[in-house]
A and B are shown apart, each in its own frame.
Chain A
Amino acid sequence: MEALLALVIGVLGGAGVWLVLRPRTFQVIMGLALLSYAVNLFIFSMGSLLIDSPPIVAPGVPADLAHYTDPMPQALVLTAIVISFATTALFLVVLLASRGLSGTDHVDGTKEP
């Protein structure tokens, strides 16, 4: 499962970086969205991957990370998702304003020669 998750993060991150470097604003925002998915999965993976062991302390089971998922990264991811969602939405507004004001969807607001 670790290998699969690492691959998914890698593919998302790679695609995100490639798209961010593209000249069209829509590609940039898609790239930023993909990057934020990659980052969120990465934070999630830092809590060590365990299946079927929710972070709710059960009686009789010792309270350590061998028996429970670390709840901390999950809380962090939740906050990170909200923040990246909000800032991406803001970026979308600026993107549309730039398109409206400059008449082109190039990231520099100028038509390509």
Chain B
Amino acid sequence: MGASLPHLLVVPIVLPLLAAALMVLLGDRRARFKSIVNVGASLAGLVVALEILRRVDANGTAGAIGVYLASNWEAPFGIVLVADRLSALMLVLVGVVSLGSAVYAMAGWSRAGVNFHPLFQIQLMGLNGAFLTGDLFNLFVFFEVALAASYGLHLHGSGLARVRSGLHYIAINLLASSLFLVGLAMLYGVMGTLSMADIAAKLPLVAEADRGLLHAGAAILAVAFLTKAAIWPLNSWLVPVYTAASTPVAALFALMTKVGIYTLLRLWTLLFSADAGPSALFGASVFLYGGLATIAFGVLGLMASLRLGRIAGFSIIVSSGTLLTAIGFGATAVTSAALFYLLSATMAASALFLLVELVERTGTGDRQRMRDMDQAPGEDTNLDDDETPLVGRVIPVSLALLGLAYMACVLLVAGLPPLSGFVAKLALMTALVSPDGLSLPNAPAPTPETWWLFGSLLVSGLVATISLSRVGIRRFWSKADSPPIRLKVAEGLPVLALILACVALTVFADPVMRYTRATAESLHSPAAYIDAVSTTRPLPGPTRPNVEREVAP
């Protein structure tokens, strides 16, 4: 069964593509069928991601790295797909969040415009591809696939707020893509290769005169990723976009900043690892101080926001800042804790975005909801021919359920005990201040930056608690005689599932932490990754002539 791992790697890319193609062919007919296909494809994606994770983690501490050679071309010449622990982890995260978002969209949002489902699947394809690819230019292509789909998804439902923020979003991302291409071209000019592993392997061979050019190229590339990861001051686009996007889309967008974080983590540890000679840890201070500034910006935004959507947006910025700062330490223990934090924060943010619309519905009845949806048809408009009882049923305990879900989200986002947000923050703080507490030899000695991040974690938690409680009190405690709100099963289920996933993350914190630690260790000693990519040979096909025999004398 080990041999089929490489072939499993194309599934997360091909499956959404095929699902999207099928749904495009259906046009605007059979809305219910398309919803089911969308959820089914997302579920299948999650199952495949879990299987990849299991295979990758099978070999104990060493782990297994799956390498798929597209069209059977070997590494520096062809495009490779690589799945190591980090990629597998991100794939699973995409699977969980997308499944929640897809189920939520069944409740009505998918009918607010055309082609929601195909765009959704194409976005998943772009995300999965970006997490799997081992080639820089291919990374650019998958980034653009995900972004192009996200432009469409963001505008889903139309309305002035969406179009206005969409204009900014697209302009910013087009500029970032230009920077991406410039940086990529400079790297190619210096290195003569675009395969990430090959660049990392050849980095010591760079002439001293070219090193400045290499650093400039890498820095320009990093600006493009940092824009997507929402570092201050390149993040003013984020909150309007996430607030204006329709609910399931905003929940899915919680993943978009993580693509930037993933790429930075992957490329930075691969190219500028601690043993990369004169380029070692190049740009670490940008991550550190940029991340801290981002946290500060997010905290101020949290304090200033009264609407739940904006609060959720700023909490994304805070988590981005925390992750960037943690990456900047370049230490195994901190990276390991940051990866756990990434899991918890992404699922919590996604659940919070799903809750936004439901919470805004409390005490205001359906009229408010109609206005919120702009020109989108409300749920009372029967657009679908076969409205099934699953989506239309009203839950009597909806308000209590909503309140509990909201409380769980507050605990998760603010990092209060007993849920996984607390475990993540505690792990980060432990890794920051106790160099030998986890008996890891290369944990950092406390520096001023350590204490800055330590303090930022505490302050951001406090501010998130204040800000979210303020909204919660206003929404849940103000009107005792408010009419019972309508909550569909398909809306409540994904929120509960995401929160339960966070509970599971808390209960199984030990195995997950062990996994993230192994991930961080392999990230900070990238030799295994480079070896796996460069030693994978093409499979001899039945019609393929023997390459060695054909080499000219």
Contacts and interface: CB of A to CB of B under 8 A. Distances in A.
Contacts of B155: 94, 97
B178 interface: yes
Interface string B141-157: 10010011001100100
Contacts of B164: 98, 101-102, 108-109
Counting from the closest, the 4 A-B pairs by CB-CB distance are A46-B189, A109-B164, A43-B185, A46-B185
B445 interface: no
Contacts, number: 91
Nearest to B217: A46
Nearest to A48: B189
A98 B163 contact: yes
A107 interface: yes
B438 interface: no
A90 interface: yes
A32 B144 CA distance: 16
A6 interface: no
Contact of B160 (A39, A43, A73, A102): A102
A47 to B, nearest CB: 8
Contacts of A72: 188, 194
Given A43-B184, A109-B167, 17 more contacts: A32-B174, A35-B178, A39-B182, A39-B185, A40-B181, A46-B185, A76-B185, A80-B181, A83-B144, A87-B173, A90-B148, A90-B151, A90-B152, A97-B155, A98-B164, A102-B160, A109-B164
Interface of B: 137, 140-141, 144, 147-148, 151-152, 155, 158-160, 163-164, 166-168, 170-171, 173-175, 177-178, 181-182, 184-186, 188-189, 194
B51 to A, nearest CB: 31
5 contacts: A20-B175, A28-B171, A87-B148, A94-B170, A109-B164
A90 B92 CA distance: 31
B164 to A, nearest CB: 4
A84 B158 CA distance: 23
Contacts of B189: 46
Contacts of B171: 20, 28, 32, 91, 107
B433 to A, nearest CB: 44
A86 interface: yes
A69 interface: no
A80 B181 CA distance: 8
Nearest to A35: B178
Contacts of A86: 148
Nearest to B179: A39
Contacts of B186: 46
A67 to B, nearest CB: 16
A83 B174 CA distance: 10
A99 to B, nearest CB: 9
Interface in A61-113: 72-73, 76, 79-80, 83-84, 86-88, 90-91, 94-95, 97-98, 101-102, 107-109
Given A83-B141, A91-B174, A94-B151, A43 B181 contact: yes
A73 B167 contact: no
A74 B150 CA distance: 28
B188 A46 contact: yes
Contacts of A97: 155, 158, 163
B175 A101 contact: no
Nearest to B193: A72
Contacts of A79: 137, 141
A28 B181 CA distance: 19
Contact of A91 (B158, B170, B185): B170
Contacts of A76: 137, 184-185, 188
A113 B159 CA distance: 23
B178 A36 contact: yes
A32 B188 contact: no
Contacts of B173: 87
A42 B194 CA distance: 16
A107 B167 contact: yes
A40 B178 CA distance: 9
Interface in A33-64: 35-36, 39-40, 42-43, 46
A20 B173 CA distance: 13
A25 B167 contact: yes
Given A32-B175, A90-B151, A39 B167 contact: no
A25 to B, nearest CB: 7
A88 B167 contact: no
A107 B170 contact: no
Given A94-B151, A109-B167, A87 B177 contact: yes
B163 A109 contact: yes
A35 B168 CA distance: 17
Given A76-B137, A90-B151, A101 B174 contact: no
